[in-house]
Structure 1
Amino acid sequence: MFFWISIAIAGAALTLIASRRAVKYASLLAQGLSLPPFFIGVTIVSIGTDIPEMSNSIIASIAGHGDLNVGDSIGSVMTQITLIFGLLPFFATGFSIDRARTLTIAGFTVLSLAIGIALVSDGYLSRLDGAILVGCWLLFTSLSWKYAPASSDPVLPMGSSKKFLHGILVVLFLALVGVGASAFVKGLIEISAGFDVPEYLISFFGASLGTSLPELAFVVTALRSGKRDLAVGDIVGACLVDATLSIGSGPLIAPTLVTAALSMRGGVIALVFVTLATVTVVVRKRHDRYSGALLLFLYGAGYFVFIAS
């Protein structure tokens, strides 16, 4: 058992380290686009920091362990909007919240979770289900670009340089992410079998915490650099990615069975707590240690509700 725990930890570490590098060089590839920071966070960065979840989704689905995909993705939504977002004021200073932009993305995330709950209710995620979820991400991201207010931070200057080298490095680190995710998933499968714990619970509670670390690392760095919009965009964008692209990418390649009861329970709880966390910060229009403490409380309460129900 110690061997598989070590394999899971090593796989998670490799996935996290490689994904951070992949994000770095993918961001450099995006130089020259002159996009508002909030939307860079919602799109480019959120996909990059969610590489561990998407890799886990694909590997787990191919291996026939759909609960690892759904549990990790839904658990990551919960973890990021409560724990990761709640920790930010304790690692950096408080910051203001743009109501309209935050409500727009959060609203799409809640709607995506509702769609996901309906799709897993039959205990099976088909290629069509995966395509619907991926399509939701494309649609909601496009609508966010079209209707959300403009960024308040200055547009990030991005000049192009060394794009070929950066492209090679992105491919290299994405390959390492795949290796790490494969080891991580294999370790989780063996651990859940050894302790006779449902795979969904292992991924919802444990895996989601590990795969959400790239978001924490990125947003803390962004906030300390004065890039508030980039940080908030990554958090809310990553939640949308997890609720759509992450869950859907695996079944799109390899349809898989899931435990309907656990998947629906996790989805409903995530939906409720995303709503509560969003209301907490948009009503105050500022995220500081008071709202951060409340989000941390919601994180603990969410898992208590999951176990109790």
Structure 2
Amino acid sequence: MTEAILLSVAGLVGLAIGGELLVRGSVGIAEKLGVSTLFTGLVIVGFATSMPEMVASVQASLAGSPEIAWGNIVGSNLANTLLILGVSALVMPIALIGTGRRDAVVALGVTLLLWALAWSQLGARWIGFALLAGILVYIVWRYRHPGAASIEEEDSSDKPTGIVVASALFLVGLGILVAGGNALVTGAISLATIFKVPETVIGLTVVAIGTSLPELAASIAAALRGKSGLAIGNVLGSNIYNILLIGGATMSIAPFALPQELVGLQMALLTASAVGLLAVLWFFKSIGRVLGAVLLIAFAANTALLFGAPDSAASDEIEIEAAAESLG
């Protein structure tokens, strides 16, 4: 138990340090490249912090467990929208000034696409390739149309002095984030096993939440430093990457239909959260602490339902072990 606790604590410390370095490096890269921090959050940070999901889902697919891969994608997107934005808003209200509206529309669109794939039970490599092509189109579109968010909102004292320093901070921060997230997940899985939490719950909650920890750390660090574009962009970008990039890679490797279980409550909640975030970005001036608390309550309620709902398909020991190994 002592080792599990130490791993969990070390993971939390790593996430805090890595998140701060990642934000500093990202702001510096945005300034040197002349792009907005929203674009940086969407493309650079969103891609980087989605790497744990990519590793977990690809490894699960290679191990013959696409159910774990798709469950991780859906669970991570729920954690991004409800948990990460909720915690970030509680730490520091997030100002919204026309931030991320178009990207929220894209996020909702790809979420509906994912639900359609789950409902239709289609599975083929060409679908995976089409999803991968979609993320390339999205990146090019966002680069050519960066939006109204400007790097002028940043405090110049926070910026690294050069692109090399900024890139180094970004890469070091990313490395610490991934290592910290893996340590925390490993510790959490060990603690769950010690306290005899069902393996189904470990797979559906700890694995998905654990791979979202880099996004959580990066968004909290961005919120604390007043980088609203980076915080929102990180969440939206990660959600889009999870479905198009990671979903595309998963479908390309394991061209099977999505688990039927995703057609029900989890996809409905994921779609509702995407609609809600779009509405907030269009009609609210900020994500305050009250709204943050509502998001957290919704996340906690869904997690409680997962704890109380047995799922024989997800309780298979081999699949859980494959997911845990992919994170370690």
Per the normalisation by structure 1, the TM-score is 0.74
**Residue 228 of structure 1 aligns to which amino acid in structure 2?**
S
* Range 13-22 or range 239-248, more displaced: 13-22
CA distance in 2, matches of 1:136, 1:196: 37
Do the aligned residues in 2 keep the contact of 1:22 with 1:173 (CA within 8 Å)? Answer: no
**Residue 271 of structure 1 aligns to which amino acid in structure 2?**
T
Render the CA deviation track for 1:59-80: whole Å, top value 9, x for unaligned.
1111111111111111111111
Do the aligned residues in 1 keep the contact of 2:47 with 2:238 (CA within 8 Å)? Answer: yes
Secondary structure of the residue that 1:238 maps to in structure 2?
helix
Q: CA 1:299 to 1:196, structure 2 compared with 1: closer, same or farther past 3 Å?
A: closer
The residue number in structure 1 matching 2:134 is 136
Do the aligned residues in 1 keep the contact of 2:128 with 2:255 (CA within 8 Å)? Answer: no
Q: CA 1:13 to 1:301, structure 2 compared with 1: closer, same or farther past 3 Å?
A: closer
The residue number in structure 1 matching 2:294 is 294
The residue number in structure 2 matching 1:283 is 283
Do the aligned residues in 1 keep the contact of 2:25 with 2:160 (CA within 8 Å)? Answer: no
The residue number in structure 2 matching 1:81 is 81
Shift of 1:158: 6.4
Shift of 1:293: 1.5
Structure 2 spans left out of the alignment, 5+ residues: 311-328
* Range 102-111 or range 16-25, more displaced: 16-25
CA distance in 2, matches of 1:137, 1:147: 15
The residue number in structure 1 matching 2:152 is 154
Shift of 1:55: 0.9
The residue number in structure 2 matching 1:53 is 53
The residue number in structure 1 matching 2:315 is none
Do the aligned residues in 2 keep the contact of 1:82 with 1:277 (CA within 8 Å)? Answer: no
Shift of 1:129: 2.3
CA distance in 1, matches of 2:281, 2:33: 30
Q: Percent identity?
A: 22
Within a 5 Å distance, the mapping from 1:84-103 to structure 2 comes to 84-92=84-92, 94-99=93-98, 101-103=99-101
Q: CA 1:208 to 1:48, structure 2 compared with 1: closer, same or farther past 3 Å?
A: same
The residue number in structure 1 matching 2:228 is 228
Shift of 1:103: 2.5
Q: CA 1:25 to 1:295, structure 2 compared with 1: closer, same or farther past 3 Å?
A: closer
The residue number in structure 2 matching 1:106 is 104
Shift of 1:173: 4.5
The residue number in structure 2 matching 1:219 is 219
Q: Does 1:247 align with 2:247?
A: yes
CA distance in 1, matches of 2:29, 2:89: 30
Render the CA deviation track for 1:26-67: whole Å, top value 9, x for unaligned.
857787322211100000011111111011111111111111
The residue number in structure 1 matching 2:207 is 207
**Residue 44 of structure 1 aligns to which amino acid in structure 2?**
I
Secondary structure of the residue that 1:98 maps to in structure 2?
coil
Q: CA 1:16 to 1:226, structure 2 compared with 1: closer, same or farther past 3 Å?
A: closer
CA distance in 2, matches of 1:256, 1:13: 36
Render the CA deviation track for 1:124-151: whole Å, top value 9, x for unaligned.
6433222222222222343344456311
Shift of 1:207: 1.4
* Range 227-236 or range 39-48, more displaced: 227-236
CA distance in 2, matches of 1:102, 1:31: 19
Within a 5 Å distance, the mapping from 1:262-277 to structure 2 comes to 262-265=261-264, 266-277=266-277
Q: CA RMSD in A?
A: 4.4
Render the CA deviation track for 1:221-264: whole Å, top value 9, x for unaligned.
12222322222211221122222212222333x21546531132
Shift of 1:121: 4.1
Do the aligned residues in 2 keep the contact of 1:19 with 1:51 (CA within 8 Å)? Answer: no
Q: CA 1:44 to 1:78, structure 2 compared with 1: closer, same or farther past 3 Å?
A: same
The residue number in structure 1 matching 2:42 is 42
Per the normalisation by structure 2, the TM-score is 0.70
Q: CA 1:173 to 1:149, structure 2 compared with 1: closer, same or farther past 3 Å?
A: closer
CA distance in 2, matches of 1:256, 1:207: 22
Shift of 1:267: 2.6
Do the aligned residues in 1 keep the contact of 2:75 with 2:204 (CA within 8 Å)? Answer: yes
**Residue 32 of structure 1 aligns to which amino acid in structure 2?**
K
